[in-house]
Amino acid sequence: MHRLIEKGLMFGNLVRVDSSVLVERYNRALTHLTGKKTGLDVFHIDISGYSPEIGDELDDPLYLNHHGVNRQFILLSTDQMHAPLLNAKFSTSRGILRQFIEENRSELFALTAFDVVAGELVNSVYLADTPARLFDIRQIKVEADTTNETIATAAKLGTLIDRFKTEPDAWHDDVLIAQMIGMAKRTGDVMRNPVNVRQMSFLQENYWTDHFGGMYIFRGVAHPAAIVARDKAEIGTLPIDHVFDFRDRTAIAKFLEMNDLVESIVDARGVDATAILQQKMDFIVMSVAATMDEDLTGARRHDLRRLGRQYAQLLPAEWQGLAELVRWAENHGPWPKITSEHPCYFYTLRAKNHADADLVNMLLAELTPLDIRQLFICHKEVFYRAYATWPDEKKTYVADFLEREYQVDKAGTRAALFGHEAGMEEMPVPRQPDLITRVGPWGAVRPRGR
């Protein structure tokens, strides 16, 4: 993985922790959450405060994510908002953390100026020991406070201040006054500078999870289904209408179509469909050439075309189908009949503009593993695992290509490929509305006839 790290394609944008004050605060929070400490003086952290160096030190890549279910976090700075989330077990976790930091930025900035904020993404499941248990996860709550419980203390102080203002004999209550003075020493003036981090909760309807080999759960669509990377027979019975695995290509295609989740790249507006399809073909040629021990250092499109001609008989059905589609798009051939069973089918799709576009593009990336660019952009967890198995020739080409063609203009590349989406590294998560928002000030109004 050293190529990826050197080029900023792995562990990029992590926050460096190198001051004794911040290390001490981190250890205070780490002990508070896990009972552990680090002996490192310098390390890097992601948006959740997880450090790959500390993970190696503790021999525990899940030291802030016990059983991979309830993610804990340590915030030393609001700058962590721009960092990635490593070892993600749920596709929604980074989006939740980012939204929490964004909506409480000024409060968290003030708190982290003199302390560290620690917390957890809490749900009702503590151990996902069976695939069916994952369906018990419906809502994620963010719980956070400083290690000195500044937020909780400020809330208590606010209650005492209200008592002091409203109770007629409060001026003579020495115990009440002493309590307020003691709390104010810890929180500061909460009247002028309120310490009020908003309580937030998020619906967990449609998401990907890394558990059990990888599962895509779609509950918030018209036709719900779960799509699993492993053999569905190994997963067992799930509490959802339909379960597909990656071999159920026609069923997955029908699911995506019935829920209006995808569109053909050729029909999409604002994209150069031919250029996108040709690039996918280049990636397939590169994969074939790598298996033949070809030196791909510095290889460009004309080199890949030469290699494509050289290994034409080895090019798989994915390449052949895309080539037919390109010929049609350039008005040089008939309309190709590409059904969902054709190996190139999912290579011709992208997500439509909807709330779950990132999740759908993540699924499509895993269904089209030869498109190394989409796999890297949309599904880094699967990309890194695949990368570790590739021959050196392919690793070199992919690392060089991503540095040259993607790193220099991430937003431009994503816009060219996906058009409408804001950025594949975000995963916006629907907020759980408060009670009044959900049912109105007069209570729930039921439709007639129910």
Which residues lie across from 225 on neighbouring strands? 218
- What is the pLDDT at residue 164? 56
Instruction: Report whether 56 contacts 95 (CB < 8 A).
Output: no
**Which element (helix H / strand E) includes 201?**
strand 200-203
Per-residue pLDDT for the chain (450 aa), expressed as one digit of tens each? 888 998 889 998 899 999 999 999 999 999 999 999 999 999 999 999 999 999 999 999 999 998 899 899 999 999 999 999 999 999 999 999 999 999 999 888 878 888 899 999 998 788 888 999 999 998 999 988 888 766 656 555 556 556 656 767 666 666 655 765 665 556 554 444 456 777 789 989 999 999 999 999 999 999 999 999 999 999 999 999 899 999 999 999 999 999 999 999 988 877 888 999 999 999 999 999 999 999 998 888 899 999 999 999 999 999 999 999 999 888 777 888 899 999 999 999 999 999 999 999 999 999 999 999 999 999 999 999 999 999 999 999 999 999 998 887 888 888 888 875 444 444 445 555 443 333 332 233 333 333
- What is the pLDDT at residue 402? 93
Instruction: Report whether 372 contacts 398 (CB < 8 A).
Output: yes
- What is the pLDDT at residue 180? 54
Which residues lie across from 87 on neighbouring strands? none
- What is the pLDDT at residue 365? 97
Which residue pairs from 374-381 have beta carbons closer than 8 angstroms and sit at least 24 positions apart in sequence? 374/417, 376/9, 376/402, 376/406, 377/406, 377/413, 377/414, 377/417, 377/424, 378/424, 380/84, 381/88, 381/210
- What is the pLDDT at residue 163? 65
Dihedrals phi, psi of 150, to nearest 5 degrees: -65, -40
What span, in angstroms and rounded, lies between the C-alpha atoms of 107 and 238? 42
Q: What are the E-state strand segments in 219-324? A: 225-228, 243-245, 262-264
- Predicted TM-score of the model (pTM): 0.84
Residue tagged 């069973």 (tokens): 341
Q: What is the 3-state secondary structure (H, E, C) of 3-40?
A: HHHHCCCCCCCCEEECCHHHHHHHHHHHHHHHCCCCCC
Q: What are the E-state strand segments in 281-396? A: 349-351
Nearest CA among 279, 282, 348 for reference residue 315: 282
- What is the pLDDT at residue 409? 80
What span, in angstroms and rounded, lies between the C-alpha atoms of 3 and 16? 20
Instruction: Report whether 92 contacts 33 (CB < 8 A).
Output: no
